[in-house]
Amino acid sequence: MSHHHHHRSLSRTSRTSISSATNRRSPSPSSRPSQTFHASILPRSMPTPALVESVAGGAHYAGIKVDAESPKHPHTSMDRRRSSQEMAINLKADHHRVMADLQELYCCRPTPEIFERSWNKEAVFEDPLSVCKGFHEYAAQWYAMPKLFSNSVTLSSRVMSSTNSPNRLVYAQTQEYTYRIGGQKKVIESIIVVDLDEEEKIVKLSDQWDGKLPTWFGSHFLRRVNAKVAPWFVHVPNK
């Protein structure tokens, strides 16, 4: 009698153990595995147009061509940001005068007064076609332009920097030239770097087409030859 009761007690204990094990194997709904969605590895905020423009501007100045904005969307937020950035550049009065004189030269309207007012007699002028040293060489290049082009128009210009130390003006320019022979048009985008002396006159001007100058072997020699030959064929008015 006693032995039988002990056997039933063991059975009840076994059922309790099995029930406990089953409960452990069958978790409640609240403890069931759930799928966790992790945040995307992509940034939530994309770069702003102003940031992109800033990077592009730096790249352009470093020699990388920057595509022009599409004319289909005028007065965009990027335009407004660009205008505010330009206004933030404190353009010196003398730099403004030099820039205005240079625009006259690029538009094929050279005058003795411009060179007297804004150019050092020993200045250096360089572009992909020439490396000029001194008045007679660089003035001949400017006076040759009206003979080559029937028209020249500044499509756009944008000041990139205007500093006191060094005394330098840097701006981007897009110029459209019309050849006298054939009437073909050519658009040149360039970065123009202007260094000035203590009298606020140009001592060096570097006109970098598409943000660069030629570096291939022999290019400097040919550009110097062009600078020396041009005065033989181009008349420079006396001051």
pLDDT digits (tens, 9 = 90+) for 81-116: 444 444 457 888 999 999 999 999 999 999 999 999
Phi, psi of 65 (to 5 degrees): -70, 135
Task: Answer yes or no: is pLDDT of 193 > 80.
Answer: yes
Whether the ω angle into residue 166 lies within 30 degrees of 0, i.e. cis, is yes
What's the pLDDT at 32?
A: 52
Of all residues in the chain, the percent with pLDDT exceeding 70 is: 63
Nearby residues of 90 by Cβ (< 8 Å), 6 or more positions away: 162
pLDDT digits (tens, 9 = 90+) for 29-86: 444 555 444 444 334 433 333 333 333 343 334 333 333 333 344 444 444 444 444 4
**Can you give the length of the chain in residues?**
239
What's the pLDDT at 239?
A: 66
Helix axes of 219-233 and 135-148: crossing angle, nearest 10 degrees: 80
Task: Answer yes or no: is pLDDT of 154 > 60.
Answer: yes
- Strand-pair partners of 206: 126, 193
Mean pLDDT along residues 218-236: 97
Q: In whole angstroms, how far apart are CA 176 and each of 30, 122, 129? A: 73, 29, 17
How many CA within 13 A on the CB side of residue 22?
6
Q: What is the pTM of this model?
A: 0.65
